[in-house]
Amino acid sequence: MKAVLFDLDGVITDTAVYHYHAWKALGEKIGIEIDEEFNEELKGVSRTDSLNRILAKGNKEEAYSQTEKETMAAEKNELYKTMIEEMSPKDILPGIKALLDGLKERNILIGLASASQNGPTILEKLQLTDYFDEIVDPAKLKAGKPDPEIFLTGAKDLGVKPQDCVGVEDAAAGVEAIAAADMVSVGVGDADTLGKATKVVPETGALTVELLEEVWSEAVG
Ligand code: G6P
Ligand code: MG
């Protein structure tokens, strides 16, 4: 294992819940209900694609112009930004700091493969930016998760082969993207939702360098 590519929201910090609340608020405004089950389909999915999925759920794909859709996406993002305003290192999920330290000690490269355009800001607030050897810019990608592009770009930027990487994800779309990139995947969360992952752990506290090395070795080595 030469590199670990991390998703951000729901893996490094619990912003997945803020995305959910911000979309829910927008949904209420336009009469589309967003519950936790439907929210699973939004995890890992870009802002624009998330809005399109929400509109499709309410059979309102054709109800708004492009400009109106851009306004709605911007409004959701403004609400989301107020929610992340006060974030600090105390918001790093359990086990993540120790994992990043362990990876650094062993000279294993660290990359960020998040669809969020707020990713770099959040890493700054968590004071984790310096751990990351590469941060993929999602604005430069052609396709979002479950397409493997974000993980393949991360591996390329780090100068490693996909087979030498482990990807860590909390979303079904993300686990699919990692698998399509021909990488070993570790899912954090519900085994029913993340069943396609090489290994699923219930929470971030279970993520250790030893575990990632073991999962990678068993799958590839
Ligand atoms: C991540 C989250 C999604 C979010 C996407 C875009 O993948 O899991 O819920 O929609 O990033 O985030 P952004 O901050 O750019 O709106
Ligand atoms: Mg996520």
- ipTM score: 0.98
Residue-wise DSSP of 142-186 = SS-TTSTHHHHHHHHHHT--GGGEEEEESSHHHHHHHHHTT-EEE
Q: What average pLDDT does this structure show over 35-40?
A: 95
pLDDT exceeds 90 at position 94: yes
pLDDT exceeds 80 at position 221: no
Beta bridge partners of 6: 112, 168
Buried b (16+ CB within 10 A) or exposed e, 148-165: bbbbbbbbebbebebebb
pLDDT exceeds 90 at position 205: yes
**pTM of the predicted model as reported, rounded to 2 decimal places:** 0.95
pLDDT of res. 36: 95
For residue 53 the two structure tokens come to: 């999925």
How many A from CA of 8 to the centre of ligand 2?
6
Residue that is written with structure tokens 């990487």 in the block: 165
Residues taking part in catalysis: 7, 9
pLDDT exceeds 90 at position 210: yes
Which residue spans within 61-159 are E strands per DSSP?
109-112, 134-135
How many A from CA of 116 to the centre of ligand 1?
4
* Test site for ligand 1: of 38, 93, 116, most ligand atoms within 8 A of the Cβ: 116
Could you identify the atom of ligand 1 that is nearest to the CA of residue 117? 15
Crossing angle of helices 16-30 and 47-57, in 10° steps, is 40
Q: How confident is the model at residue 193 (pLDDT cuts 50, 70, 90)?
A: very high
Q: Is the CB of 170 under 6 A from ligand 1?
A: no
Q: In the predicted model, what is the mean pLDDT of the chain?
A: 97
pLDDT of res. 149: 98
